[in-house]
Chains A and B, each alone.
Chain A
Amino acid sequence: MKTVAYSEVQGLTPGWMTLLGGLGALIAIGLGSAWYMEHNGHYVTGMSNQVVWGMPHVFAVFLIVAASGALNVASIGSVFGKTAYKPLAPLSGLLALALLVGGLMVLVLDLGRPDRLTVAMTHFNFKSIFAWNVILYTGFFAVVAVYLWMLMDRRMGGWVKPAGFAAFLWRLILTTGTGSIFGFLVARDAYNSAVMAPLFIAMSFSFGLAIFILVLMAAYRWTDRPLGDGIVRILKNLLGVFIAAVLYFVAVQHLTNLYITERHGIEAFILRDGGIYTFLFWGVQIVLGSLLPMALLFHPGLSASRANVALASLLVIVGGLAQVYVIIIGGQAYPLEIFPGMEVVASGFFDGQVAAYSPTAAETMLGISGFALAMAIVAVGATVLRFLPVSLADEG
């Protein structure tokens, strides 16, 4: 078997400094935003007692979901034995860890009491899927770290497959847990469905791979390393399939709700009458974030352009953020049905009304800083350890 040579990225070059400087600035702005929200209290955000999870949660959930998906490239190589993916495995593992760190930073800094993180790490209610997620996230770091060790230490080569299998299984359970945070909410028509778990798994495949493709392209372009058309082609085809898988689960989710009379209200809200949520669903999630990238990835002429593959990946990320926004914010904006058969004429607490939510700059910047932190970890990681193959040129 051909041996793949890996090397570190050269650090402290002008380009490297510019990248890390920019990412560092975004991280600093995000941390400042978190300080501003915590110092004043959450009333300075767009969140309220109606929409309790806002923009930080959109970014955090997106990043956490994408993290498990980013590991897929490694899993396809180690677990399913696809040779072409094997050189990409270390980067896949690094990106997975980095995205999870970014997502968790946003999630923790939005807590009402982030100073009580130790409480969350030491007090567990085992009936809570949220508590299970804390364990699953922590375990993911350990499992993927061991997997990376097996991948990168040639003496441990024989352990790559079992470690890869363990990581693959763990990531499936992790995303099941993330989806179930919503799936287990009994009272809200927008959630409360077993389909949330597989939907989130499909979303993770798609979002994680889209980010992986962009990181791979950027890394190889900026370090002047050869990246063959062959590897880009298999990745872009896989991304197209993953987008289709997400569309399938989205269709199942909405068709099920459309069949259940009780849920016609939430469906009419998301699909037809919801204003910004309806626009984000059809315009951004479906057309811009799913159908257009599929066309770019599968059209024989268009998909030959590497720029189009990058654009499609970017659109998947934008569509994914819109999808998570519609799920999290749209699902809360639609009022709880506390009195079936009754119309709420007046309420001292917005019962029966669609809740308003406008994200503030601070919330959004905190979310973006999660992305920036993930990218900074990848950049620094690839600088200090050999994550990137010297060449990914097509084998002639």
Chain B
Amino acid sequence: MSNKACDAGRRDFLKAAAAVVTLAPGVTLMSIPAAAAPRPADQPASATQRWGLLVDTTRCTTDCTACVSACRTENGISGHGRPATDPQWIRKIELRNETTGATHSLPMMCQHCANPPCVDVCPTGASFKRADGIVLVDRHTCIGCRYCMMACPYKARSFVHEDVEDQRPDVPRGVGTVEGCNLCVARVDAGGLPACVESCRSNGNGAMLFGDLNDPKSEIAQRVKTYATTQLRADLGLDTGVRYQGI
């Protein structure tokens, strides 16, 4: 990681933190910038919001895995030393353009599609999309058929192949069911940021931006409007909530 990138990340972090203190003074979040005010527990998620993530691949570096580590800690995901069957909610991928030779590093997770194939194929409706665009798995009705894993274009889901221990209260998991990135839904509902985004800002290079794509004033909406961004497998017409800049 270059010093310049680190400095830029720190600057953005401080800027965003300051902005939040002004906008939402009631929120006590250990000086972490919030994406929105907390949602009261008795109110459902609203379609007026569309949560999204923008990854700036020009800032993401090969040696940095801050997002992956933060996700594992936040969601209580630990492996058994079996990479083929251990769950992965977010992973780092290194790419090389076959024509130009340009290299890119980026995090890959559930793309929180507006038209998610995993939701279409799920026989019981366990795989579902919340009104605010977050794609989730209802662990009570998942029968472990793995059809969603067959359907996902991004390999974003994992099957829990063995017993899980030390679960986090906010993140119920269970052997025999399917799981994937939930965009740290409990943190978002509390007005916070997904753990990966927060860690990318504080420990990484500030390559990840979280916010409401439906709010024209939000930074993510501004960035998506101003710069060319990429939806992975855009040809499938899934309208992903996660966008990439720089690839």
Contacts and interface: CB of A to CB of B under 8 A. Distances in A.
Interface of A: 38, 40-43, 48-50, 52-53, 111-114, 116-117, 119-120, 123-125, 127-131, 133-134, 181, 184-188, 332, 336-351, 356
A128 B92 contact: no
Given A49-B85, A185-B121, 20 more contacts: A38-B176, A42-B176, A48-B84, A49-B161, A111-B176, A112-B177, A116-B144, A120-B124, A130-B122, A131-B124, A185-B151, A186-B151, A188-B150, A336-B154, A339-B95, A343-B97, A346-B92, A347-B92, A348-B91, A349-B83
A340 B62 CA distance: 20
Contacts of B124: 119-120, 123-125, 131
| A-B complex: 3 closest residue pairs judged by Cβ atoms | A112-B144, A112-B176, A187-B153
Contact of A186 (B159, B160, B236): B236
Interface in B67-113: 68, 80, 82-88, 91-99, 103-104, 108
Contacts of B150: 52-53, 185, 188, 332
A49 B106 CA distance: 20
B61 interface: no
A41 B153 contact: no
Interface size class of B (residues with CB under 8 A): 35 or more
Interface string B203-232: 000000000000000000000000000001
A276 B10 CA distance: 52
Contact of A345 (B95, B143, B155, B157): B95
Interface of B, helix, strand, loop or mixed by DSSP: loop
Interface of B: 62, 68, 80, 82-88, 91-99, 103-104, 108, 117, 119-126, 141-147, 149-155, 157-163, 175-178, 232-233, 236, 247
B161 A42 contact: yes
Contact of B141 (A123, A133, A347): A123
Contacts of B94: 344-347
A41 B86 CA distance: 12
Contacts of B154: 336, 338
Contacts of B119: 125
A186 B145 CA distance: 18
A120 B143 contact: yes
Contacts of B146: 52-53, 112
B152 A134 contact: no
A372 to B, nearest CB: 23
Contacts of B96: 342-343, 345
Contacts of B104: 342
A41 B176 CA distance: 7
A332 B82 CA distance: 19
A342 B99 CA distance: 8
A124 B123 contact: yes
Contacts of B126: 123
Given A187-B117, A338-B233, A112 B93 contact: no
21 contacts: A42-B159, A43-B82, A49-B157, A50-B84, A111-B176, A112-B146, A112-B175, A116-B143, A119-B143, A120-B123, A120-B143, A123-B125, A125-B123, A130-B122, A181-B147, A184-B121, A186-B151, A187-B152, A338-B155, A349-B91, A350-B84
A125 B123 CA distance: 5
B96 to A, nearest CB: 5
A342 B85 contact: no
A342 B98 CA distance: 5
Nearest to B101: A343
- Chain A CB count within 10 A is highest, among B144, B149, B154, B247, for B144
A336 B125 contact: no
A11 B146 CA distance: 42
A192 to B, nearest CB: 10
B160 A41 contact: yes
B142 A112 contact: yes
Contacts of A356: 84
Nearest to A181: B147
A46 to B, nearest CB: 9
Contacts of B147: 128, 130, 181
B29 to A, nearest CB: 29
A128 B176 contact: no
Nearest to A118: B143
Contacts of A48: 84-85, 161
Contacts of B149: 49, 52
Contacts of A129: 121
B175 A344 contact: no
B231 to A, nearest CB: 11
B93 A130 contact: no
Given A49-B159, A187-B233, A345 B91 contact: no
